[in-house]
Structure 1
Amino acid sequence: MARVVVVHGIGHEWSGSALMGRDVVPALRDGVRQGSGLRLDDDDVACAFYGDVFFEEGTRGLGVPPWDEHDVEEGFEAELLMVWWEAAARAEPGVPAPDEPGTRAFPGAGWLLSQRMRSALDALSGSRFFGAYSDRMMVFALKQVRRYMNEPPVWQAARARVAEEIGDDTRVVVAHSLGSVVAYEALCEHPEWPVTDFVTLGSPLGLSLVFNRLSPLPEAGKGAWPGNVRRWTNITDPGDVVAVVHELAPRFGAVVDESLDNGLKPHSLPRYLTAKKTGRAIAEGLM
């Protein structure tokens, strides 16, 4: 089995382990080599793919429904969209903040939920990360996060995909975006795994909406330590809107929080993987 397992985030729904590995494995090998001088073989790295668990059997070919502001559910989805909007406004001067005149952000202003969600989608369409997303894909992302956090069949299937890739030789788990939540919960669930190093990239684990729903549940404001892990390195681009809370140490304890600049693609998995900081963190678990 592979010594390094990569767990993807949102955006790989129509992919698979082998197809995803075509981009992910070379990027990770480059990062490790540049950051540490260590040379990995293709067989040293595996990708845990779970993107298809969000589709009903037989519906995968139909694409994403034409979702818009009317399809954002009140509660978790609406709250998460507002968090993304606020984070994008803080990170990018060109994105209007929710409390600016005309943004229709709050119920007190007399606007319906759908009108507030329309303003949020419009604002995010001008951001670096979400600018490449259509309305339907942004709503799809919201629904994926909500479903993973709230639907047992979804999180059980996703964690099982991670478990399929972990073997006796696996020492490092690298997880991006929503995949960091999947990997974290899987590691907590399996303290017998030989994984010693956990590397999270663009992770939303520190966001209260996610943190307070983790399994196991946090106690006294502290999240559980992930299984047998000895070192946890969390790497975030300050402009990464999905990560929101950039430092995980206050929530989880002895996490080493690092920052880097991914340029115009702050949430890009390949850019995170090719960074020297990421390569050094991965290599540390292999030496």
Structure 2
Amino acid sequence: MKELILIHGRSQQGKDSKALKRAWIEAWGRGLAAAGLSLPIPEERIRFPYYGDTLRDLLEGISEADAAKIIVRGAQEDDIAAGLLLALLNEYIAACGIGEDEIRRNLPPAAGPVVVERGPQNWRWVHAVLRTIDQRVPGSGVLIGLLTSDVSLYLRNTNVRGAINGGVLEAFDRPLDKVVVAHSLGTIVAYLLLRQVGSEAGWRVPALITLGSPLGIKAIRGRLGGVRHPDCVGRWFNARDPRDVVALYSLDERNFGVVPAIENKTDVHNRSSNRHGIEGYLEDPVIASRIHGALVG
């Protein structure tokens, strides 16, 4: 007997854990229907560990768009966050083929002489890069700001990491084989827990399915303390929309080389406005079928 564990990324505003779980299941159901399949297990065997309050509380009630601006500005005073932000932006510039002229066209007006210094200390440069990326896929600049905050907090703040890990670990309390589906920041949480805790705890995970994952980004990958296939995991399937800026790279040999290799699907057409939403991934019939197959196989 198997159960399904769903590990979310940044919480969706205005929804509680039950509503979020329902949204995941309904989106998966639409993907299954498109593939001619139906829900293979009762909902009692679908676990949805919710850690959204930990991240939501950090925003103190402000919108995610405003939070992203504050986070990016805050990186000016935080050397660790600044280093991550600079590394992320440089990767996006290279991966998206963004030229200096394009960045200059998006610079906010300057009160004095124009000096375009590359780095988080230069807010005008950061703003111009994010605006340029936003022009490619609307909403992407906000995602990058939030990604910087989420990853920085999770990897270096023991209280935040402990709260998130503690909530997710509760979903692994039953002695059943577990199919794990993780999205966004949740893929980092899932990967580290499976790698660090899974074998010792005796977890059996025949399939790990990661969606919209930032694990392949060098600036993030280099902060994970090494890269290897979790011993407790059987097959690993990863899917991304090529327009999803959070999932900048596939988890292939070049960007996340592990043995056995991860199978990648790189042609997802995520219908969400920023191409990163979980519903847009779960509605994909191939992804939905993979989850189904892992549970019934």
Q: What is the CA-CA distance between 1:123 and the residue it aligns to?
A: 1.5
Residue-by-residue CA offset, 1:152-193 (whole Å, 9 max, x unaligned): 222222222221112323521101111101111111122211
Correspondence 1:232 to 2:236: yes
Q: 1:109 to 1:260 in 2, by over 3 A?
A: same
- Structure 1 alignment gaps of length 5 or more: 91-96
Q: What is the CA-CA distance between 1:98 and the residue it aligns to?
A: 4.3
Q: 1:128 to 1:56 in 2, by over 3 A?
A: closer
2:138 & 2:183 partners in 1: Cα distance?
15
Counterpart for residue 162 of structure 1: 168
Partner amino acid for 1:236? R
1:178 & 1:69 partners in 2: Cα distance?
18
- Structure 2 alignment gaps of length 5 or more: 77-81, 108-114
Q: What is the CA-CA distance between 1:124 and the residue it aligns to?
A: 2.9
Where 1:10 maps in the other structure, the secondary structure is coil
CA contact (8 A) 1:27 1:273 kept: yes
Q: After TM superposition, what 4+ stretches of structure 1 lie above 6 angstroms from structure 2?
A: none
2:93 & 2:139 partners in 1: Cα distance?
10
Partner amino acid for 2:223? R
Where 2:186 maps in the other structure, the secondary structure is helix
Spell out the pairing of 1:188-203 with structure 2 (5 A cutoff).
188=195, 189-191=197-199, 192-203=202-213
Q: 1:206 to 1:26 in 2, by over 3 A?
A: same
- Alignment RMSD: 3.0
1:12 & 1:243 partners in 2: Cα distance?
18
Correspondence 1:278 to 2:281: no
2:277 & 2:54 partners in 1: Cα distance?
22
Residue-by-residue CA offset, 1:26-78 (whole Å, 9 max, x unaligned): 11233245447243333332222222223558x74466656275333421123
Partner amino acid for 2:27? A
Q: What is the CA-CA distance between 1:25 and the residue it aligns to?
A: 1.1
1:2 & 1:165 partners in 2: Cα distance?
13
Q: 1:29 to 1:193 in 2, by over 3 A?
A: farther
Q: What is the CA-CA distance between 1:104 and the residue it aligns to?
A: 8.2
2:53 & 2:129 partners in 1: Cα distance?
27
Counterpart for residue 20 of structure 1: 20
1:174 & 1:245 partners in 2: Cα distance?
18
**TM-score with structure 1 setting the length:** 0.80
Counterpart for residue 93 of structure 1: none
Spell out the pairing of 1:114-133 with structure 2 (5 A cutoff).
114-130=123-139
Spell out the pairing of 1:56-67 with structure 2 (5 A cutoff).
60-61=60-61, 67=70
2:13 & 2:207 partners in 1: Cα distance?
26
Counterpart for residue 75 of structure 2: 72
Moved more, 234-243 or 139-148: 139-148
Residue-by-residue CA offset, 1:196-231 (whole Å, 9 max, x unaligned): 1100011111111111111xx22xxxx221241111
1:224 & 1:168 partners in 2: Cα distance?
25
1:153 & 1:68 partners in 2: Cα distance?
19
- The alignment covers a number of residue pairs equal to 268
Spell out the pairing of 1:86-105 with structure 2 (5 A cutoff).
86-87=94-95, 89-90=96-97, 97-100=98-101, 102=104
2:5 & 2:233 partners in 1: Cα distance?
14
CA contact (8 A) 2:7 2:181 kept: yes
2:127 & 2:61 partners in 1: Cα distance?
28
1:284 & 1:53 partners in 2: Cα distance?
33
Partner amino acid for 2:241? D
Where 1:196 maps in the other structure, the secondary structure is strand
Q: 1:138 to 1:15 in 2, by over 3 A?
A: farther
2:38 & 2:271 partners in 1: Cα distance?
28
Counterpart for residue 43 of structure 1: 44
Correspondence 1:176 to 2:180: no
1:60 & 1:197 partners in 2: Cα distance?
36
Where 2:237 maps in the other structure, the secondary structure is strand
1:86 & 1:203 partners in 2: Cα distance?
19
1:284 & 1:127 partners in 2: Cα distance?
35
Q: 1:83 to 1:49 in 2, by over 3 A?
A: farther
Q: 1:16 to 1:145 in 2, by over 3 A?
A: farther
